[in-house]
Structure 1
Amino acid sequence: VCENPKNPVFNHYMFEAVALLIKRACEQDPSLISSFETSLLPSLQMILSTDVREFFPYAFQLPAELVDLNGSPIPGNYMEIFAILLLPESCKKSGNVPALVRLLQAFLRKAPHELNQQGRLSSVLGIFNTLVSSPSTDEQGFYVLNTVIENLGYDVISSYISHIWVALFKRLQYNKTVKFIKSLVVFMSLIFVKHGPEKLATTMNAVQPDHSYTSSRPEEDRVEEDPEVPDFGETVGCSATFVHLYNAGRKEEDPVRDISDPKQFWLHLWQTFLLVHLEYTRESLMKMLNQQIKLHYFNFAAPII
Structure 2
Amino acid sequence: MAHDNMLTAFLIALGVYKEQWPLYASQVVLETAESEGVVAARILVNDEVCLEWQPWVDLHGKLHHLAMSKGQLAPRYDPSSMKGHLLQTVHPMLQLVASSKGIPMNEYLMRTVARIFSFLKQQGAETGLATLSPLSAILLAMSANPSNPVFNHHLFEAVASIVKVCVPAQPDAVESALLPTFGQILERNVVDFLPYTFQIMGLLLDASPSIKPLYTELFARLLNPELWRSQANVPGLIRLLRAYFAKHASFAELLKTHMQAILERFQFVLMNRKTEVAALDLLNAIYQYLPIEFYQQFLKTLMTVLLTRLQSSKSPKFKRDFVVSCSLCIHKNQSVIPLFNEIQAGLLSNLVLNVWPPVLKMPLKTDERKVCVMAVARLLSLDEMRQNTQLVGACAVGLVHLLGLSSSNNKSKLNGDEGSDDEFLENAGAGQEYEVSFNKLQNTDLPGAAAGLAPDVPELQSAAKAALKPVLGAAPLPERSEIVFFVLAQTPLSLSRSLAPSLPLPLPLPPPSLPPFLSPRCNPARCPAATSSEAKAASGRCVDRCFPNHRRSGMPFAAS
Bin the TM-score by the shorter chain.
0.7 to 0.9
Q: Conserved in 1, the CA contact under 8 Å of 2:274 and 2:420?
A: no
2:202 is aligned with what amino acid?
Answer: A
TM-score, with structure 2 as normaliser: 0.43
**Deviation of residue 42 (structure 1)?**
2.9
Q: Note the alpha carbon deviations across 1:15-74, whole angstroms, 9 max, x for none.
A: 2222222223335xx23x112223322322322232211111122122012122224x64
1:20-169 equivalences in 2 (<5 Å): 20-27=161-168, 30-31=169-170, 33-71=171-209, 74-111=211-248, 114-117=251-254, 119-169=257-307
**Deviation of residue 113 (structure 1)?**
5.5
Question: Does 2:148 correspond to 1:7?
Answer: yes
| Residues 1:13 and 1:188: Cα distance change in structure 2 (over 3 Å) | closer
Distance across 1 between alignment mates of 2:468 and 2:424: 38
| Residues 1:111 and 1:37: Cα distance change in structure 2 (over 3 Å) | farther
2:338 is aligned with what amino acid?
Answer: T
Distance across 2 between alignment mates of 1:80 and 1:223: 40
Distance across 2 between alignment mates of 1:222 and 1:236: 25
1:272-287 equivalences in 2 (<5 Å): none
**Deviation of residue 225 (structure 1)?**
9.6
Q: Conserved in 1, the CA contact under 8 Å of 2:246 and 2:290?
A: no
Question: Does 2:453 correspond to 1:255?
Answer: yes
**Aligned residue-pair number:** 265
- Please list every run of 5 or more consecutive structure 1 residues that lacks an aligned counterpart in the other structure: 276-305
Q: Note the alpha carbon deviations across 1:138-178, whole angstroms, 9 max, x for none.
A: 11111110111111222322101011112102212233421
Matched with 2:467 is 266
Matched with 1:19 is 160
Distance across 2 between alignment mates of 1:146 and 1:269: 27
Question: Does 2:339 correspond to 1:203?
Answer: yes
Question: Does 2:438 correspond to 1:242?
Answer: yes
**Deviation of residue 116 (structure 1)?**
4.6
Distance across 2 between alignment mates of 1:176 and 1:113: 40
Q: Conserved in 2, the CA contact under 8 Å of 1:8 and 1:237?
A: no
| Residues 1:256 and 1:5: Cα distance change in structure 2 (over 3 Å) | closer
Matched with 1:231 is 427
Distance across 2 between alignment mates of 1:108 and 1:142: 15
Q: Conserved in 2, the CA contact under 8 Å of 1:112 and 1:151?
A: no
Matched with 1:180 is 318
Which protein has greater RCO, CA pairs closer than 8 Å, 6+ apart? 1
What SS does the aligned partner of 1:119 have? helix
CA RMSD of aligned residues (A): 3.1
Q: Conserved in 2, the CA contact under 8 Å of 1:132 and 1:141?
A: yes
Distance across 1 between alignment mates of 2:218 and 2:307: 32
Matched with 1:290 is none
Distance across 2 between alignment mates of 1:120 and 1:91: 15
More displaced stretch, 50-59 vs 35-44: 35-44
Q: Conserved in 2, the CA contact under 8 Å of 1:6 and 1:237?
A: no
Q: Note the alpha carbon deviations across 1:151-210, whole angstroms, 9 max, x for none.
A: 1222322101011112102212233421221111111211221112xx233111112226
TM-score, with structure 1 as normaliser: 0.75
2:468 is aligned with what amino acid?
Answer: L
| Residues 1:270 and 1:50: Cα distance change in structure 2 (over 3 Å) | farther
Matched with 1:278 is none
**Deviation of residue 262 (structure 1)?**
0.7
Distance across 2 between alignment mates of 1:82 and 1:269: 43
Q: Conserved in 1, the CA contact under 8 Å of 2:223 and 2:262?
A: yes
Distance across 2 between alignment mates of 1:268 and 1:122: 39
**Deviation of residue 226 (structure 1)?**
5.0
Matched with 2:24 is none
Distance across 1 between alignment mates of 2:438 and 2:282: 18
**Deviation of residue 224 (structure 1)?**
6.5
Distance across 1 between alignment mates of 2:421 and 2:327: 21
Q: Conserved in 1, the CA contact under 8 Å of 2:199 and 2:444?
A: yes
Q: Conserved in 2, the CA contact under 8 Å of 1:58 and 1:245?
A: yes
**Of Structure 1 and Structure 2, which has the larger fraction of its residues in strand?**
2
Distance across 2 between alignment mates of 1:99 and 1:19: 13
- Identity over the aligned pairs, expressed in percent? 28
2:163 is aligned with what amino acid?
Answer: I
Q: Note the alpha carbon deviations across 1:242-280, whole angstroms, 9 max, x for none.
A: 1222233454323332246413442267479x77xxxxx
- Please list every run of 5 or more consecutive structure 2 residues that lacks an aligned counterpart in the other structure: 1-141, 359-414, 476-560
